[in-house]
Structures are given as C-alpha cells and as structure tokens.
Structure 1
Amino acid sequence: MTARLFRNFTFDPKADILSGITVALALVPEAVAFAFVAGVDPLVGLYGAFMMGLITSLFGGRPGMISGATGAMAVVMVHLIAQGNAIGDTLASPIENLGLYWLFITLLIVGAIQISAGLFRLGKFVRLIPYPVMLRFVNGLAIVIFLSQLGLFKTNVAGEMVWMQGTQLYIMLGLVALTMAIMYLLPKLTKAIPSALVAIIVIASITIFGGLDVPTVGSFIRDGGGQGLEGGLPVF
C-alpha cells in the first residue's frame, strides 16, 4: 500500500529527490532577493515560497510543474505595495504595512483567475501569444534576476551599503565564476547529479571550511533591515 502510494507521487525517486533538494536550496536566496525587490520583509518571501511549493507538490497536476518566487511578479507588485503603504500611513488611524494586505488580496484574486482559467481550459489561448513577446518577457525577467543579485556585492559599512572593493570583491567574483563554470561544464561530463546542486555544495563548502568572509543569506537580510533567518513556521 505504501509503495503504491509512493509511486503515485513519483515515478523516478532519485531524480525527484535531487531536484527537490536543488530547488529547496536555490529558492532560499531567490525568495529573499525577490522579497527585497517587491519591498516586503524577506520572511514573507520565504513563507510564500514554502507554501507555494507545498501546495503545488500536493495538488499540482503535472510532474514537471515548478513553482517559486518570480521576478516578474515581484516587479509588478512593487508599485502596489508602495502605494498601499503610503495610503495606510495617511489614514486617520494609520495601518502599518497596508501594502502587504493589498498584496495578499491581489494574490488571492490572481489565484482565482488561474483556477478559473484551468477549469474553463483557457490555457490553449497561450498559443496566441507572439513568440517575440515571450522572448522579451524572458529576457526582461533575466535582467530583473541579475539586478536583484547585485545587492550581494554590497557590504554594510557604518550603516551604509557600499560596493565591495579589494580582496572581498575578488573573492566574490571568483566564487561566482566558479559557480557558473560548474553549472556550465558539469553537464558535459555527467548528468547524474544536477549541476546546480553540485555548485551549491561546492561553493558552500569552500566558503564554510575556508573561512571566507563573504555575505550570506542571513547577513543579506540583516543588512536590508531584517532580523536574519530564524527557524519556525509563520504565526498568524
């Protein structure tokens, strides 16, 4: 019974486990970066990524479905959150983080629209989107992701974020170059293990055991005004 139930969830346990670990490790800094892009607390991005992945894995309808934080949504939500916070501050009884409430309601509406599109089988109309539009969209998303990562090349000096210089900058550039090299060259040698997972493990090991002074996800959150990473589930 257990084996049959397990087979209903995965046809390739090895690939699914490796991909799950890879996505879980890669999604943490991505969710934090996009949270800063959207102007919300980093923990909001982490909780959102966690819940989205959990719901998709339980109720998703396709084996290859991937869900996570996206730069496209983050950019769209920036104005919404900023305007909501501004209006909340001007009310007779000010409401803190009103933009976050607006974001929650907006995402509920987006989810309802997506569910309706699925029920009425409107996905076929995606074929009507011109290829140049899709290409520009993906290119724009790549630019957003690139820009969101530039903050990691800044360091906190006397309460002010400044660009890295000297040895610290060279170490960061070297780690980035090594990561890109692993992800590009490893698939040419073997595809048994995801290159992204190998890159994360190798670079993290070099950083930890080498005692390198480089920004981490926790320090990135603290420099942005957060409290760092703390274990636990969200409290409502």
Structure 2
Amino acid sequence: MKTHALLPQASYADRLWSSLKSNYFVDLSGDFWGGITSAVVALPLALAFALASGVDAKYGLYTAIVAAVVASIFGGSKVQITGPTGAMAVILAGIVAQYGIEKLWVAAILAGVIQIALGLSRMGRFALYIPHPLITGFTNGIAVIIFAGQLNNALGLQIPAAGDATFFEKLIATLAHLPDVNLSALLLTGLVITLMLVTPVSITRRVPASLIGLTVATAGAFLMQLNVPTIGAIPHLLPSPHLPAWSWGDLHLLIRPALALAALGSIESLLSAVVADSMTVSERHDSNKELVGQGMANVVTAFFQGIPATGAIARTAVNVRSGAKSRLSSIIHSLALVLIMFFFAEFASHIPLAALAG
C-alpha cells in the first residue's frame, strides 16, 4: 500500500524535473554566455531607448531586468530576450509627453492585460500574417523618428520638450538652435559612431561595438571633464514594487494608448520569436503563450517603474548566436544587469547623452 501511495509522487517529481530540464537546464554553458552577452548588448540599448521614450535612463534598465525574467518564465519562446525597443519608444514618447510617466505605467498594465487576453483567446497566430512590406515601412519610419528624436542629444542641445509638437516642428526647433551646438557633445557622438564602424569584427564578436564606443566616450568625457549633459544618477538597486496612481477615469482616457502598445508589443514580440525559431534547429515558439508572457511582463514591469517592453530581435539573435538553448539564458541576462547596476551605477551616471545618441 505504501509503495502504491508513493508512485504518483515519484511520477510527479520525474515530470517536474523533466520540465525544468527542458526549459532551464539544456545547456548551462551556452545559456550562461548567451545571457551574459545579451546583457552587455542590452545595457546601452536599454538606456538609450528609455531616453528616446522621454523618460529617465534608469527606467530602461529596470525594464530590461524585470521584463526579461517574467517574459521568459511565462512566455512561449525559450530563447527570446525581452526589453525596451526602438519601435516601442516612438509610441511611449508621445504617451509620456501627453499623460506623464505615472499614466504610462497605468497604460502599460492595461496593455499587458490586453495581451494576456489575446493570448488566452488564441489570437497569436494571426499576427504572423501581417504583410512584410508593411512591417518594413513601419520599421524604417521608426528609424527616421528615432534619428530625429536623438538629434538634440547628439548636438548637446537642451531644448525644452513640447509634448504636442509634430515631427517637423521638433526638427525645425532643433535647426533653429544649431548656433548653440555643444561641440564636445558632437565630437563624442562622432567618436561613438566611428568606433562602431571601424572596430574589427574579431573584437565585436566578443564585445559589442556599441558598448566599446559608449565606454570610451564616457571615460574620455569624464577624464577630460567635458561639459556635456549626462544621463544622471542611476540607483544601485531595483525600486520596491508599487501600484501606480490611477482612477477609473484613466481607464477610458488610456484605453487607446494601451491598445496601441498591446498591438505593437504583440507584433514585434512574435516577429522576434519567429526570428529566434529560424536560428535554432528544433525549437518552435508558442505564439499564444508568448502573448501571455509578454502581457505579464508588461504588467509586472509597470509595478517596478519600468516601461512597456517587447521581444527584442537584436538581443534575441545575440542570445541564440552565443549558444543559448533555454529560458535560463534570460534569467542570467537579468542577473548580469542587476550586478552591473549594483557595481557600476556610478560609472553609468557619467554616460554622456551624446554617446547614447551615437
């Protein structure tokens, strides 16, 4: 009798171990290097995309840490890296300018709930039928907007943000302030771009060119005491979770921004998951589960003062190319960023905005 009573427990333990092994312990070495490498790539991007979103750089770092873990655990792709992206930054900048950061967190929670609902409704497969030319045009448009949005930082201009200004109005304002260009900032931008272009491939295979440029520019600006705007103080630890201030009226006010965030986040995440599938031999993501995971990531990240995130194609590709095979790589990715934040926050606070713009 006792033997029969123990059999179900042993069977459950076996199934649990099998699940953990297939999801988290496929290739420890590959996952370790995938997580470390993708974290190094993610650091400058998280800071830059936060600034492009109209918020402090620290919020991008919070997002890269929290969103990656949550999306990995609950999502449908074993090797996807989630974090701030350029596509999302364009929408976020408009929301922040119009409603403020607190309302952005509320919109992020609403968007996450919508994504979870889409996943549970098994709507994930439909996103893959979006025409490729539409995606290409959308991506190119985003690139132009980000370029224009970073011009002020690249030129060292500190022009007050106008939330209701159009793309061309902002561009005209930048051109009108050209006589006030900070030459030191412009040189730093040029230095970063140059290093990214000329650094040998033999080096960039191990260390991202963007990180090399960022480190050299930051060290140079600090040692030479250049008078350029920097990203400012970055905390050593994640903030305590808290519920953003909201009211029932916010739900009606923010539903349209939330729908836009959910739509873009879902599409970009699923496209990134498809790219990850194409780089692996046997792994295929679950689109519906991925939507649930991305939605949960956006909900949880908002409680930690993060910004809405999506699956990041470039970071995911780096993760896979570095040997990642399981969800453990994303967890290592986040742990690496936590350690960087804890030990190198002081150095990061001196990063020039011009270097991130480059």
Provide the aligned C-alpha RMSD in A: 3.6
Aligned residues: 202
Report SS of the residue matched to 1:217.
Answer: coil
**Post-superposition CA distance 1:116-153 (Å, at most 9, x none):** 33344433212321111101111122122212322212
For 2:182 and 2:63, how far apart are their aligned partners in 1?
37
2:117 maps to 1:138: no
Q: Please tell me whether the aligned partners of residues 49 and 68 of structure 1 are also in contact (alpha carbons under 8 angstroms).
A: yes
2:238 maps to 1:233: yes
> Residues 55-204 of structure 1 correspond to what in structure 2 (within 5 A)?
55-81=70-96, 83-84=98-99, 99-152=100-153, 153-155=155-157, 162-163=177-178, 164-165=180-181, 167-168=183-184, 170-182=186-198, 185-187=199-201, 191-204=205-218
For 1:83 and 1:193, how far apart are their aligned partners in 2?
38
For 2:72 and 2:130, how far apart are their aligned partners in 1?
28
Report SS of the residue matched to 1:62.
Answer: coil
| Aligned AA (2:156) | K
Tell me, which stretches of 5 or more residues in structure 2 are unaligned? Answer: 1-16, 160-173, 243-358
Give me the identity figure in percent.
30
TM-score normalised by the chain length of structure 2: 0.46
Instruction: Label 1:156 to 1:189 Cα distance change in 2 as closer, same or farther (>3 A).
Output: closer
1:193 CA drift (Å): 3.4
Instruction: Give the number of the structure with larger relative contact order, counting CA–CA contacts within 8 Å between residues 6 or more apart.
Output: 2
Q: Please tell me whether the aligned partners of residues 40 and 208 of structure 2 are also in contact (alpha carbons under 8 angstroms).
A: no
2:222 maps to 1:217: no
Instruction: Label 1:134 to 1:59 Cα distance change in 2 as closer, same or farther (>3 A).
Output: same
TM-score normalised by the chain length of structure 1: 0.65
Q: Please tell me whether the aligned partners of residues 191 and 217 of structure 2 are also in contact (alpha carbons under 8 angstroms).
A: yes
**Post-superposition CA distance 1:65-99 (Å, at most 9, x none):** 23222344343345545554xxxxxxxxxxxxxx5
| Aligned AA (1:198) | I
Moved more, 108-117 or 188-197: 188-197
| Aligned AA (1:24) | L
Show the counterpart of 1:225. none
For 2:204 and 2:234, how far apart are their aligned partners in 1?
34
Q: Please tell me whether the aligned partners of residues 195 and 212 of structure 2 are also in contact (alpha carbons under 8 angstroms).
A: no
For 2:111 and 2:101, how far apart are their aligned partners in 1?
15
